């Protein structure tokens, strides 16, 4: 029998080791698995490399993980935001490493890792500061640079619903990096609002096949709202 549902958020993040590479879904706060990140803070792993589009907003989620000094390096496309002050301060103090990756290359590097691709030529970034040190090649008259996959130890993602096989559906633009990050990590952990009976998800609508998902934890909307409001730590 296949059952990927875990009962507690502690068991959802068990086994994340110091120095690990952790992908975290989300674009700003849409699709960010805040409760899994909070659980990771409690779990205590440090010296982490975090892969996300941004570098935290306000003081919740990734910003809280940064504030707890658990992150050695951020790999992201857009760290600078109106409310990214936690990251900005660490960066300016030289206390965190930053790898800025054009957003499409970030997505493709994650996709490539999941799809077993060794490297790929991308036109994005060619001729810019972000091409420093990269191999280049002209193909059919267009210039490209070589980029490599990003593999992760864990992916922490947020989805709308799952069944016990780990099949996932998402909600609106909260989908963003979830489906590709699920493919690129040794262990993908999905936090979901609803767990449904096997067979209840429309097979035509499943976005992430359960094969890519190792653990599912349900975060009841009430708890989610309470944590969002800051009443639970």
Partner 1 sequence: MIRKRDRNQLAARIAQDIPDGSYVNLGIGMPKLVGNYISAEREICVHSENGVLGIGPAPLPGQEDFDLINASKDPVTLVPGGCFFHHADSFAMMRGGHIDIGVLGAFQVSVHGDLANWHTNAPDAVPAVGGAMDLALGAKKVYVMMDHFTKGGVCKIVHDCSYPITGLRCVSRIYTDLAVIDVAVDGLYVREIVENLSLEELQRISGVPMRLARET
Min dist. Cβ of residue 24 to partner 1 (A): 13
Q: Which residues contact 211 (CB under 8 A, 6 or more apart)?
A: 166
CB 109 within 8 A of CB 115: no
Q: Which residues contact 128 (CB under 8 A, 6 or more apart)?
A: none
CB 180 within 8 A of CB 173: no
Residue closer to partner 1 (CB basis): 11 or 136: 136
Residue closer to partner 1 (CB basis): 13 or 113: 113
User: Do the bridges between strand 136-139 and strand 142-147 make them parallel or antiparallel, or are there none, so unpaired?
Assistant: antiparallel
Min dist. Cβ of residue 31 to partner 1 (A): 8
- Dihedral of alpha carbons 13, 172, 74, 223, sign: negative
Residue closer to partner 1 (CB basis): 39 or 184: 184
Residue closer to partner 1 (CB basis): 13 or 27: 27
Q: How far is CA 140 from CA 117, 137, 143, 144, in A?
A: 21, 10, 9, 10
Min dist. Cβ of residue 75 to partner 1 (A): 12
Min dist. Cβ of residue 178 to partner 1 (A): 7
Give the distance, in angstroms, between the CA of residue 79 and the centroid of all CA atoms in the same chain: 14
In the complex, which residues of this chain contact partner 1 (CB under 8 A)? 27-31, 53, 77-81, 84, 87-88, 91-92, 98, 100-105, 107-108, 110-111, 122-130, 170-180, 207
Residue closer to partner 1 (CB basis): 16 or 76: 76
Cβ atoms within 10 A of the Cβ of 66, count?
23
Min dist. Cβ of residue 116 to partner 1 (A): 14
């Amino acid at each position: 029998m296949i059952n990927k549902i875990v009962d507690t958020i502690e068991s959802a993040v068990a086994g994340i080791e110091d120095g690990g590479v952790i992908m975290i879904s989300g674009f700003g706060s849409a699709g960010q698995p805040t409760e899994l990140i909070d659980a990771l803070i409690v779990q205590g792993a440090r010296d982490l490399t975090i892969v996300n589009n941004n570098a935290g907003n306000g003081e919740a989620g990734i910003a809280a993980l940064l504030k707890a000094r658990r992150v050695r390096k951020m790999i992201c496309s857009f760290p600078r935001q109106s409310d990214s002050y936690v990251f900005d301060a660490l960066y300016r103090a030289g206390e965190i490493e930053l790898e800025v990756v054009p957003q499409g290359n970030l997505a493709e590097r994650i996709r490539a890792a999941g799809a077993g691709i060794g490297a790929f030529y991308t036109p994005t970034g060619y001729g810019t500061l972000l091409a420093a040190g990269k191999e280049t090649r002209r193909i059919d008259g267009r210039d490209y640079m070589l980029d490599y996959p990003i593999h992760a130890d864990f992916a922490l993602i947020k989805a709308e619903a799952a069944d016990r096989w780990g099949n996932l559906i998402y909600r609106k633009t909260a989908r963003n990096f979830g489906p590709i990050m699920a493919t690129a990590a040794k262990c993908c952990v999905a936090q979901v609002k609803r767990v449904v009976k096997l067979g209840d998800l429309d097979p035509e609508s499943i976005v992430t096949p359960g094969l890519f998902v190792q653990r599912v934890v349900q975060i009841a909307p009430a708890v989610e709202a309470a944590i969002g409001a800051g009443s639970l730590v």
